[in-house]
Amino acid sequence: MTNLIVELSKYALILLMALYTCMTFISFRMKTRKSSDYMLAEMTFIMLLLQFVAYLVLYLKLGEKEDMIYYYGFQALFMVLVTLLWRLFYKDIHNTLISNMCMMITIGLIMLTRIDVEKSVRQFKMIIIAMIVSMLVPVIIRKWKTCCNFDTVYGIVGILMLGVVLVMSATTYGANISFTIAGVTLQPSEFVKILFVFYVAGRFAKSTEFKDVVVTTIFAAAHVLILVVSTDLGGALLFFVTYLVMIYVATQKAIYCAAGIGAGCAAGVLAYNLFSHVQVRVMAWQDPWSCIDNEGYQIAQSLFAIGTGGWTGMGLGQGMPSSIPFVEKDSIFSAISEEMGGIFAVCVILICMCIFLAFFNLAMKVKNKFYCYLAMGLGTMYAAQVLLTVGGVTKFIPLTGVTLPLVSYGGSSLLSTLIIFGIIQGISLIIYDEEREVEKERNRLERDKRRKDREKEKQKQKA
Partner 1 sequence: MNETNEEKIEKKKNRNKKPKNQEMLYVAYIFLGIFVCMIGYFVYFQTMVSSNVITSAYNKRQDTFADRVVRGDIVTSDDVVIATTNVAANGAETRVYPYNDLFAHAVGYASHGKTGIELLANYQLLSSHAYFLERFVNEVKEEKNMGDTVVTTLNYELQKTAYDALGDYRGAVIALEPSTGKVLAMVSKPDYDPNAINANWESISSSSDSVLLNRATQGLYPPGSTFKILTLLEYMREGNDLENWTYECTGSYTEDDVTINCYQGKKHGMVDLKTAFAKSCNGAFAKMGMEINNTEFMRTCNELLFNTELPIEFPYKQSSVSLEKNDETGTVMQTAIGQATTEVTPMHMALITAAIANGGNLMKPYFIDSIENYTGEQVKKYMPSSYGKLMTAGEAAVLTEYMTETVLSGTATALQSEVYTAAGKTGTAEYTTDKSKSHAWFVGFSNVEDPDLVVCVLVEGAGAGSTYAVPIAKKMFDTYYVNN
Q: What is the CA radius of gyration of the chain?
A: 24
Taking the least distance from each CB to partner 1, the nearer of 23 and 349 is 349
User: Is residue 312 close enough to count as binding partner 1 by CB under 8 A?
Assistant: no
Which among 34-42, 128-136, 187-195, 379-387 is the span making contact with partner 1, rule CB under 8 A?
Answer: 379-387
Smallest gap from Cβ 336 to partner 1, in A, equals 12
Instruction: Find the binder of partner 1 among 19, 85, 225, 357 (CB under 8 A).
Output: 357
How does DSSP assign 218-263, residue by residue? HHHHHHHHHHHHTT-HHHHHHHHHHHHHHHHHHH--HHHHHHHHHH
User: What sign results for the dihedral spanned by CA atoms 304, 174, 352, 78?
Assistant: positive
Taking the least distance from each CB to partner 1, the nearer of 130 and 200 is 200
Judged by CB under 8 A, the number of residues near partner 1 is 54
187 SS3 class: coil
User: Is residue 394 close enough to count as binding partner 1 by CB under 8 A?
Assistant: yes
Taking the least distance from each CB to partner 1, the nearer of 111 and 305 is 305
Residue 443, burial from CB neighbour count under 10 angstroms (0-12, 13-18, 19+): exposed
Smallest gap from Cβ 86 to partner 1, in A, equals 25
Smallest gap from Cβ 28 to partner 1, in A, equals 13
**Do residues 344 and 179 lie in contact, with contact meaning Cβ atoms separated by under 8 Å?**
no
User: Is residue 323 close enough to count as binding partner 1 by CB under 8 A?
Assistant: yes
**Do residues 93 and 428 lie in contact, with contact meaning Cβ atoms separated by under 8 Å?**
yes
46 CB contacts (<8 Å, ≥6 apart)? Answer: 16, 19, 20, 23
User: What sign results for the dihedral spanned by CA atoms 331, 332, 336, 338?
Assistant: positive
Instruction: Find the binder of partner 1 among 53, 237, 306, 335 (CB under 8 A).
Output: 306
User: Is residue 442 close enough to count as binding partner 1 by CB under 8 A?
Assistant: yes
C-alpha–C-alpha distance, residues 381 and 185, integer Å: 22
User: Is residue 369 close enough to count as binding partner 1 by CB under 8 A?
Assistant: yes
Taking the least distance from each CB to partner 1, the nearer of 16 and 372 is 372
Taking the least distance from each CB to partner 1, the nearer of 162 and 203 is 203
Contacts 24+ apart (CB under 8 A), 34-37: 36/95, 37/87, 37/95
User: Is residue 350 close enough to count as binding partner 1 by CB under 8 A?
Assistant: yes
**Do residues 336 and 344 lie in contact, with contact meaning Cβ atoms separated by under 8 Å?**
yes
The torsion region of residue 324 among left (phi > 0), alpha (psi -120 to 50) and beta comes to: beta
Smallest gap from Cβ 239 to partner 1, in A, equals 16
User: Is residue 142 close enough to count as binding partner 1 by CB under 8 A?
Assistant: no
C-alpha–C-alpha distance, residues 389 and 302, integer Å: 12
Taking the least distance from each CB to partner 1, the nearer of 67 and 441 is 441
C-alpha–C-alpha distance, residues 153 and 151, integer Å: 5
C-alpha–C-alpha distance, residues 36 and 52, integer Å: 24
C-alpha–C-alpha distance, residues 208 and 461, integer Å: 54
Taking the least distance from each CB to partner 1, the nearer of 73 and 307 is 307
User: Is residue 356 close enough to count as binding partner 1 by CB under 8 A?
Assistant: yes
Which among 41-49, 122-130, 358-366, 420-428 is the span making contact with partner 1, rule CB under 8 A?
Answer: 358-366
- Type of residue numbered 376: M
Closest listed residue to residue 174, CA positions, set 401, 326, 388: 401
Residue 451, burial from CB neighbour count under 10 angstroms (0-12, 13-18, 19+): exposed
Binding mask 209-248 for partner 1 (x = CB under 8 A): ------------------------------------x--x
**Do residues 96 and 28 lie in contact, with contact meaning Cβ atoms separated by under 8 Å?**
yes
User: Is residue 446 close enough to count as binding partner 1 by CB under 8 A?
Assistant: yes
Instruction: Find the binder of partner 1 among 396, 436, 453, 454 (CB under 8 A).
Output: 396
Smallest gap from Cβ 310 to partner 1, in A, equals 7
Taking the least distance from each CB to partner 1, the nearer of 107 and 314 is 314
Smallest gap from Cβ 52 to partner 1, in A, equals 22
User: Is residue 162 close enough to count as binding partner 1 by CB under 8 A?
Assistant: no
What is the binding site for partner 1 (CB under 8 A)? 3-4, 7, 245, 248-249, 252, 289, 292, 300, 303-308, 310-311, 314, 318-320, 323, 342, 345-346, 349-350, 352-353, 356-357, 360, 363-364, 367-369, 372, 376, 380, 383, 387, 390-391, 394-396, 438, 441-442, 445-446, 449
